[in-house]
C-alpha cells in the first residue's frame, strides 16, 4: 500500500496531506520532480528467488527505464529481519543525505519509507510492492526500512559504480516518522 504524508519541515506533527490515493500521490510528487510508477507484480517471485530471476521477470520495465533515462547499471537488494547488520544499515540511511545521481527503487516485495525534504516540506512516501520511485539527483532525503526490514528492491543507477550518499549533517530526520513494521 502506497501512502503519502506531507508536513512543513518545521512542524512534523501538522500534516498538510495524508493520502493513500495513488493518483493523488503521483501528481503531488510530480509537482516536486519526483516520479512514482506502479508496475504490474503478477510475476511469481518467492522469497528465495535469485537476482537473475527477479531481473528477468521485470526485464521489459527495466529496459524501458534504461532507454528513457539512461540508467547504466541494475541490481537487486534484499533485506530480511534476521540480517546481522540490519540496525547498522537502518541507522546509516536514516540520516538526511543526497546523491549526485537519481535514486531509483522498484519494490518487488516488502516496503520502505522515503522521506524527501523539498521546498520547506517533508514528503513521507511509504512505498510497497509494485511501487517504483525515482528521487532526482541532489534531492535531500532519508530512507527507513524499519527495525525488522523485509524487502526486495530493484535498483537502477546512472553510474555503473552505484551511488554514494552525501550526508547533510542535519538532524531533521530525527524529528519525523519512522517505519515501524
Q: Any idea what the CATH number is for the domain that residue 25 is in? A: 2.60.120.10
Q: Is the pLDDT of residue 174 over 90?
A: yes
Q: What percent of the chain has pLDDT over 70?
A: 95
Beta strands in the chain (DSSP E): 3-8, 17-19, 35-38, 73-79, 97-98, 103-118, 121-128, 131-135, 140-144, 151-157, 166-167
pLDDT-derived band at 136 (thresholds 50, 70, 90) equals very high
> What confidence score (pLDDT) does residue 40 get?
83
> What confidence score (pLDDT) does residue 180 get?
87
Q: Which domain holds residue 167?
A: 3-39+51-175
pTM over 0.85: yes
Tell me if 181 is assigned to some domain.
no
Tell me if 90 is assigned to some domain.
yes
> What confidence score (pLDDT) does residue 144 get?
97
Tell me if 46 is assigned to some domain.
no
Tell me if 101 is assigned to some domain.
yes
Tell me if 44 is assigned to some domain.
no
Q: Is the pLDDT of residue 162 over 90?
A: no
Tell me if 112 is assigned to some domain.
yes
> What confidence score (pLDDT) does residue 110 get?
92
> What confidence score (pLDDT) does residue 44 get?
66
> What confidence score (pLDDT) does residue 181 get?
64
Residue 121, judged by CB atoms within 10 A of its CB (0-12, 13-18, 19+), counts as middle
The domain total for the chain is 1
Tell me if 180 is assigned to some domain.
no
Amino acid at each position: 500500500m502506497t501512502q503519502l504524508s506531507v508536513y512543513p519541515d518545521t512542524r512534523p506533527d501538522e500534516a498538510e496531506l495524508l493520502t493513500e490515493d495513488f493518483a493523488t500521490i503521483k501528481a503531488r510528487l510530480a509537482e516536486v520532480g519526483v516520479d512514482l510508477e506502479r508496475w504490474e507484480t503478477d510475476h511469481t517471485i518467492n522469497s528465495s528467488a535469485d537476482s537473475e530471476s527477479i531481473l528477468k521477470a521485470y526485464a521489459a520495465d527495466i529496459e524501458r527505464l534504461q532507454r528513457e533515462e539512461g540508467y547504466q547499471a541494475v541490481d537487486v537488494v534484499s533485506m530480511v529481519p534476521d540480517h546481522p547488520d540490519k540496525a547498522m544499515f537502518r541507522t546509516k540511511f536514516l540520516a538526511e543525505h543526497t546523491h549526485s545521481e537519481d535514486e531509483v527503487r522498484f519494490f518487488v516485495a516488502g516496503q520502505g519509507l522515503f522521506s524527501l525534504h523539498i521546498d520547506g516540506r517533508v514528503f513521507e512516501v511509504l512505498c510497497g510492492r509494485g511501487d517504483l520511485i525515482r528521487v532526482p539527483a541532489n534531492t535531500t532525503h532519508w530512507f527507513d526500512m524499519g527495525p525488522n526490514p523485509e524487502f526486495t528492491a530493484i535498483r537502477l543507477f546512472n553510474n555503473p559504480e552505484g551511488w554514494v550518499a552525501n550526508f547533510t549533517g542535519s538532524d531533521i530526520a530525527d524529528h519525523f516518522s519512522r517505519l515501524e513494521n
